[in-house]
Amino acid sequence: EAGVAQSPRYKIIEKRQSVAFWCNPISGHATLYWYQQILGQGPKLLIQFQNNGVVDDSQLPKDRFSAERLKGVDSTLKIQPAKLEDSAVYLCASSLKQYTDTQYFGPGTRLTVL
Amino acid sequence: GEDVEQSLFLSVREGDSSVINCTYTDSSSTYLYWYKQEPGAGLQLLTYIFSNMDMKQDQRLTVLLNKKDKHLSLRIADTQTGDSAIYFCAEAGSSNTGKLIFGQGTTLQVKP
């Protein structure tokens, strides 16, 4: 079974530029999560999708971050414009169902904002 | 609010046992998890425990849960150099959406 795929693996941009990350969850997984992991910290949930609907985006800085999962499969996370403090690893995870089902994580995208 | 705390660093000798500790605040958490993160990699689920259990063993891993004190520990028996990584404790938050609240991670260093 293929795992969660993410691209790109690394991205370096200058502040005020835009960037987008892509995630392909495990086949058949209805729930998709985007986490932000700042260096030295644990991951923090940004947004959670159940199929193509948003379940929780309370921690998403909506003035600059957006995410979509149009067909209930792949997802993209966008930052526009980026700030220095957005430098982090962006992790995508998926689970078969919601609630307490096991989450499987992708390798992450490391973003550096200069 | 929901919070998970871990000690930041643990160093052990190869062959010794490692014990990584975690405290959490949300008494309504149903599941508690341990994840492992190696350099440049995503998070790998190691094990989890349901809140009505007080112990779970899985090969070299033993999880102990003290629900009264909201304390979780992960014991790794016969620690190997390949166990060197960052270990994260996480609780499923009270929102029942599956959202995980992570601690800041414990770096385990295994010396040969």
Answer yes or no: do A107 and B88 touch at CB < 8 A. Answer: no
A44 interface with B at CB cutoff 8 Å: yes
Torsion of CA A110, A112, B3, B6, to 10 degrees: 70
pLDDT band of residue B95 (cuts 50, 70, 90) is low
Please state the rounded mean pLDDT for residues A75-90.
97
How many angstroms away from the CA of A104 is the closest CA of chain B?
Answer: 7
Task: Return the pLDDT at B92.
Answer: 82
Is residue A10's pLDDT more than 70? yes
User: In angstroms, what CA-CA distances link B92 with A54, B26, B29?
Assistant: 18, 9, 6
Among A12-21, A55-64, B92-101, whose mean pLDDT is lowest? Answer: B92-101
Q: With the C-alpha atoms ordered A49, A78, B42, A25, is the resulting torsion angle positive or negative? A: positive
In the prediction, which pLDDT does B104 show?
A: 95
CB contact under 8 A, A100 and B92: yes
Tens of pLDDT, residue by residue over A34-51, are 999 999 899 999 999 998
Contacts of B102 in chain A (CB under 8 A): 42-44
**How high is the mean pLDDT of chain A?**
93
Close Cβ partners of A103 (under 8 Å, ≥ 6 residues apart): A31, A33, A93, A94, A95, B45, B98, B100
Q: What's the pLDDT band for B4 if we cut at 50, 70, 90?
A: very high
Contacts of B85 in chain A (CB under 8 A): none
pLDDT above 90 (res A9) = yes
Task: Check whether B2 has a pLDDT greater than 80.
Answer: no
A98's CB contacts (< 8 A; 6+ apart) are A30, A31, A50, A55, B97, B98
Cβ–Cβ gap B88/A98 under 8 Å: no
- Which chain B positions have a beta carbon within 8 Å of A91's beta carbon? 42-43
pLDDT for the residue numbered B99? 82
Q: What is the pLDDT of residues B26-82, one digit of tens each?
A: 777 778 999 999 988 889 999 999 888 899 999 999 999 999 999 999 999 999 999
The beta-carbon neighbor of B97 closest among A42, A44, A98 is A98
Q: Is B55 exposed, middle or buried (0-12, 13-18, 19+ CB in 10 A)?
A: exposed
The shortest C-alpha distance from A91 to chain B (Å) reads 7
- Percent of chain A, pLDDT > 70? 96
Share of chain A above pLDDT 90, in %: 84
Q: What one-character DSSP code corresponds to residue B96?
A: S
Chain B residues touching chain A at CB-CB below 8 Å? 4, 30-31, 35, 40-45, 48, 88, 90, 92, 95-100, 102-105
pLDDT band, very low/low/confident/very high, at A13 (cuts 50, 70, 90): very high
HSE of A79, CA atoms in CB hemisphere, 13 A? 26
What is the structure's pLDDT at B26? 79
Is pLDDT above 80 for A98?
no
Among candidates A40, A91, A100 on the partner chain, residue whose Cβ is nearest the Cβ of B98: A100
* A99 contact B CB<8A: yes
